[in-house]
Amino acid sequence: MQIVNPATEEIIKELKEDDEQSLNRKFKELKSAQQDWQRVPLGERIDFLRKFSQLLKKNIESLASVLTSEVGKPLQQSRNEINGACARIQWLTDNASKYLSDEVMIHEQSLTEKIVYEPLGVIGNISAWNYPYLVGVNVFVPALLAGNAVMYKPSEYSILTGLEIEKLLNEAGIPQNVFHVAVGGRGVGEILLNLPMDGYFFTGSYKTGKYIYGKVAPKMVPCQCELGGKDPLYVADDVADIKSVAAGTADGAFYNNGQSCCAVERIYVHEKIYDKYVDEFVKEVQSWKIGSPFEKGVYFGPLSRREQIKFLQIQVDEAIQKGAKVLLGGQAVSGKGFYFQPTVLTNVNHSMSVMREESFGPVIGIMKVKNDAEAIELMKDTEYGLTASVYSSDQNHAETILQQINTGTGYWNCCDRVSASVPWSGRNHSGFGATLSHAGLRAFTKPKAYHLKG
């Protein structure tokens, strides 16, 4: 398979894809090595993953460069991602003993009841390309800490990064057969679904997640899906500083070219402050530079996938045809590379796909609302349920709104952020199950109850 640089359209590497035979071999190796890995004391497993984090930091410049060359995100954003992954590893390694060690629940004279967190076995991790370090770390780090072996399938758009991760895990001391990379695209993913994994952890689109969940169901093993979103953001009339709210929320919509599962995908603004907000929002986006992702100061690189340009164009054209007003952008950038202009639409409504279907690109619709009640109704009008955000000077006001929105995460005066100390989870078409936090550490275990008398 060919790895293409999305900024230049040059082929940067050719790789041999895995096939059924090589994946069978890798699976057998993982299955047998997992037994020994499970017996390595937890403290030692923690040390290996801390070492891995140190290696990420040590090699950050070369790793960021590989990431930028294959997914096209600006170099500084690649560095930010790797640093973010290290912060997550720190939380997970600092808290692994607390949440993965045996728990004695009752200890009386002749009775002890305890929980032992046993690993699932071999994990199949089918992953996305938009944040390969972050979404990868969410799964393979707690899985390894809990004593599992991992078959990691990076997306076909971020394989070079997947191979770098494998190299550094081995260098950190993780035995070679405890972590394998499956190289390839959809076909390789299909082969993994046919192997007898002990658990499947998927990050990607709703369409693929739905398919994978259905395929895995008869196996009766855990299957967790972290999927897309159409995350709403509401700016209430009582925000203190409209200019800074506009700047912060524009970043939430456009960081990583909008290719984040928790990117702000639709904005509702109270009519009292709407004009000023939109004006500041557009000014902020206009101040950001488009260009080569390797150039300093560039905020918008190319999209990672060529086919996304067509998808965005259809979404924008449909909105225009139904009456949307284009304040910025609206089409692909001509020339080499998969570039799409940052696009701001107003006069939008929920009959348009741009307000209902995940865009996953630099396109945002901003809609004026009369009051909180209208904003809540529109925020709720979605099949997705990943995050929702409210900007207001009153925490109570914001929390009262967030309680009514069925999402895994609620944000007050912030957006597009993930923290390792709290669960990362979706609802409805955004998936189910949690990574990160104590829930994400224990997601890779089977709790076994012991009733001990005597």
CA proximity to 237, closest of 403, 355, 397: 397
Helix (H) or strand (E) holding 377: helix 372-380
CA proximity to 301, closest of 330, 273, 340, 261: 340
Q: What are phi and psi of 219, to 5 degrees?
A: -75, -20
d(CA 77, CA 275): 31
- Residue 225 C-beta: closest distance to ligand NAD, Å: 8
| DSSP line for 91-126 | HHHHHHHHHHS-EEEEE-SSEEEEEEEEE-SEEEEE
Residue nearer to ligand NAD on the CB measure, 45 or 305: 305
- Residue 235 C-beta: closest distance to ligand NAD, Å: 23
Residue nearer to ligand NAD on the CB measure, 392 or 435: 435
User: What are the distances in angstroms from CA 9 to CA 163, 247, 289, 338, 373?
Assistant: 21, 32, 20, 8, 47
- Residue 57 C-beta: closest distance to ligand NAD, Å: 23
Closest CB to ligand NAD: residue number? 189
For the sheet with 179-181, list strands across it.
Answer: 179-181, 149-153, 122-126, 199-203, 223-226, 431-432
- Residue 252 C-beta: closest distance to ligand NAD, Å: 14
- Residue 423 C-beta: closest distance to ligand NAD, Å: 11
Residue nearer to ligand NAD on the CB measure, 223 or 352: 223
Residue nearer to ligand NAD on the CB measure, 186 or 325: 186
- Residue 48 C-beta: closest distance to ligand NAD, Å: 25
Chain residues binding ligand NAD by CB under 6 A are 126-131, 135, 153, 155-156, 185-186, 189-190, 193, 203-205, 208, 211-212, 226-229, 261, 358, 360, 386, 426, 431
Residue nearer to ligand NAD on the CB measure, 161 or 392: 161
Residue nearer to ligand NAD on the CB measure, 198 or 226: 226
For the chain, how many residues are written? 454
